[in-house]
Amino acid sequence: MNCIVIDDEPLAREKIRLLAAQDVSLQLLGCFSGTDKAADFMELNPVELVFLDVEMPGGSGLDFARQLPQDTLVIFTSAYAEYALNSYDVNAIDYLVKPVHAARFAQAVQKAQDYADMKRQRKLQQQEVAALQQDHVFVRADRRLHRVVFSDCRYIEGIKDYCVLHLSDRKLMVGVNLKALLEQLPQDIFVRISKSVVVNFRHVTSLNHQDVRINDEELMIGNAYREHLFSFFVEHHVIGR
């Protein structure tokens, strides 16, 4: 988990920096004496965890925390324990009273790690549920609406303002252009290999720089799409060299 430290007191800032540097689960990106420079840094760099002083001459840590992205976690630091209650108003992970001891610091970091893991797990579960719910699309062909399961579609051929869906057991001609249809399909499954062809990678049996093969069918790769196609396959689906 990457992190930054914001504290106007040099000694307190250095103490947190040393503790963070000794924790193998943390990647320290920077230390700042005020919220303005930290805000500029965070505009260009995503930050997962902020160690944030509550009271600073340049601005309140509580006010700064309210402006942070929802996914950014905050652990407050302060010499005054009475601010702890206010920290819960901004959903802080923990509140460390200065001087910060190593054991207490480690406990706070672990709480942040556990919370981040829980959020990641919840997001994965939501994505899995969404994927199960969106495994098909309805298309209009032959004056009927046909349910097309994504896994059943081997590839799609564009012909002017029409598309031919090559399914496992039949073909369907749909009155929509290839670009518009592709926008309705999951981008991690379907990939365009030429101006007129989109393939379902799950049905691809082999490919080289010239063509993609789906069983015995050979589909030529367009020059303009070759780089994107191979980046897609290497990133998502290739093992080995």
Residues contacting 15, CB < 8 A, separation 6+: 98, 99, 100
Q: Which tops the pLDDT comparison, 141 or 86?
A: 141
Query: Is pLDDT above 90 for 120?
Result: no
The predicted pLDDT at position 219 comes to: 95
Q: Please give the domain boundaries of the chain with CATH numbers for all domains.
A: 2-131 (3.40.50.2300), 136-237 (2.40.50.1020)
Please, what is the Cα angle at 176 between 171 and 181, to 5 degrees?
Answer: 85
Question: Which amino acid, residue 154?
Answer: R
Kindly state the average pLDDT of the residues 39-48.
92
The confidence score (pLDDT) of residue 236 equals 58
CA distance 64 to 180: 43
Paired tokens of 57: 């001459």
Tell me the pLDDT band of 240, cut-offs 50, 70 and 90: very low
175-226 tens-digit pLDDT: 999 998 888 888 888 999 999 999 998 999 988 889 999 998 999 999 989 8
Q: Which long-range contacts (CB under 8 A, 24 or more apart) does 40-45 make?
A: 41/4, 42/4, 42/68, 42/72
Nearest to 165, CA basis, from 143, 188, 138: 138
Determine the Cα–Cα distance for residues 62 and 70; give it in Å rounded to an integer.
Answer: 14
